[in-house]
Amino acid sequence: MAFYYPNGQLFSQKNPREPSYKRETTFANRGMRFEEAINQSNEYYITHDKAVVHKKPTPLQIVKVDYPKRSAAVIREAYFRQPSTTDYNGVYRGYYLDFEAKETKNKTSFPLKNFHQHQITHMEQCLKQEAVCFVLLWFSSLNRCFFLSAEKMITYWQEQETGRKSIPLEIIESVGIEITPQIAPRIPYLTAVEQYLEKRS
């Protein structure tokens, strides 16, 4: 398992007793690189007064805290909790932005198993409030990034009932908005948001 501290530094720990863990570590690290690019883009946007978007902290259930004399409280027992929202939200020119960032090694389609029901439910709730809600999809093997509106994302999610397992790249190319990675901001997703807003209005 690997974590990023909110300062962007990676914390990664492997468990020697649990060899099956290695795969998960790799996966987490892989996802983290894209996440880091998003976090840096958010920082760029805040610094340049373009938007205020933050990643939400991971929710933890705290069970035991120690208060050592003359030093900071130490959490000694806590567990990861299932978030009830997407990872990112914020404000851009009066618009409420809300999104999830996901990554795949696949080259031809984006697997729906990367998403969770709670994220879809949250997106549905946000859309009812006229949010600008979307997912950022990163094809790491292709080095290609796409903006896909929550409206479309929810449609494909629901098609799982009729057997859909993933969203083909051709569909994403045609209904999504491609975002070309840059130096700064690394993932200029506001450009895609602008295009989406133009189409929506």
Binding site for its own copies (CB under 8 A): 1, 3, 5-6, 11, 13, 15, 17-18, 21, 46, 49, 51-52, 54, 56-67, 69, 72-81, 83-85, 89-98, 122, 125-126, 128-131
Min dist. Cβ of residue 163 to its own copies (A): 31
Q: Min. distance of Cβ 85 from its own copies in angstroms?
A: 6
Select 15 or 141, whichever has its Cβ closest to its own copies. Answer: 15
- Is 87 labelled as part of a ligand binding site? yes
Q: What's the closest the beta carbon of residue 7 comes to its own copies, in angstroms?
A: 8
Name which of 69 and 161 has its Cβ closer to its own copies: 69
Length of the chain: 201
Which residue lies nearer to its own copies by CB, 8 or 111?
Answer: 8
CB of 95 vs its own copies, minimal distance in Å: 7
Specify binding-site residues for Mg(2+).
Answer: 85, 87, 100, 119
Specify binding-site residues.
Answer: 85, 87, 100, 119
